[in-house]
Amino acid sequence: MDLHYDTSKLQMLFSPEQIRGRVRELGAEISAHYEKLLAEGEMVLVIGILNGAFVFMSDLIREMTVPLETDFIRLSSYEDHLSSSSKVVMLKNFEREVRHRHVLVVEDIADVGLTLNWLLKHLKTQEPASVKLAVAVDKSARREVKVDLDYVGFAIDDGFLVGYGLDAARRYREFPAIYTLG
Ligand code: 5GP
Ligand code: MG
């Protein structure tokens, strides 16, 4: 085994080949949707949620066959112990104007649902023409806030995932497969 990838503590859930195949399918499905929607000269505005989504987004946009541009927002959620609830904080906003644009949000994981719900509200105040959500993994067991996911790479129940952009204490993001950390 390649020394760089010490996967002894990890269980592989989705291999690089599985991910590649699924992302290719998603790219085709998403492109078919926008091909019908985009007017002459229009581009899809793909907004990735930093940090975790950057690997999935870079693969996904290269499987898309419609004109697009990219932007990023950085969000972080934390436990507010005073109100015993989770809060989303925006560390960096996207930079493009979203008004009247067709927006595709790309996220690594939908878990509790708070992050995507927050971003949807944030986007909708700015009157985009449409918003679609694409996630690499839909993790449904802990969902508290309902979010309509339009494109899902893989659906699982629960488990802490690393690799393919996902970290644990800043490690494993560069690993090409998705693993559960036991
Ligand atoms: P939520 O849907 O809970 O508001 O937020 C989802 C965010 O929590 C994701 O963007 C991701 O950063 C993080 N997250 C949720 N589940 C996992 C996981 O299994 N592994 C890692 N590395 N991050 C996760
Ligand atoms: Mg995240």
Give the CATH number, domain containing residue 136. 3.40.50.2020
- Calculate how far, in angstroms, residue 31's C-alpha sits from the geometric centre of ligand 1: 26
Establish if 66 belongs to a structural domain: yes
Q: Is residue 59 part of a domain?
A: yes
Residue 26 lies inside a defined structural domain of this protein: yes
The answer as to whether 175 is a domain residue is no
Q: Which residue in 137, 139, 64 sits closest to 104, CA to CA?
A: 64
Nearest to 149 by CA among 139, 131, 129, 134: 134
Is residue 62 situated within a structural domain?
yes
90-101 residue pLDDT tens: 999 999 999 999
Structural domain contains residue 133: yes
The residue to mutate among 14, 89, 111, 161, having the most atoms of ligand 1 within 8 angstroms of its beta carbon, is 111
Is 167's C-beta closer than 6 angstroms to any atom of ligand 1? yes
User: Residues with Cβ < 8 Å from 111, sequence gap 6 or more?
Assistant: 139, 142, 143
Find tokens 């036991």 and name the residue.
182
Q: What digits encode the pLDDT tens for the residues 90-143?
A: 999 999 999 999 999 999 999 999 999 999 999 999 999 999 999 999 999 999
Active site annotation includes 80: no
Tokens of 66: 């419609």
Which residues, at least 6 apart from 117, have a Cβ–Cβ distance to it below 8 Å?
A: 145, 147
Q: Give yes or no for residue 147 having a pLDDT over 90.
A: yes
Asked if residue 1 has pLDDT above 60, the reply is no
- Asked if residue 180 has its Cβ within 6 Å of ligand 1, the reply is no
Please give the model's pTM, rounded to 2 decimal places: 0.95
Residue 2: pLDDT above 90?
Answer: no
Domain count, the chain: 1
The answer to whether 169 touches 35, Cβ cutoff 8 Å, is no
Q: Which ligand has its closest atom nearest to the C-alpha of 87?
A: 1
Q: Which domain holds residue 58?
A: 16-33+41-73+84-157
Q: Is residue 49 part of a domain?
A: yes
pLDDT digit string, tens, across residues 61-82: 999 999 999 999 999 988 777 7
Residue 122 lies in a domain: yes
Binning pLDDT at 50, 70 and 90, where does residue 3 land? low
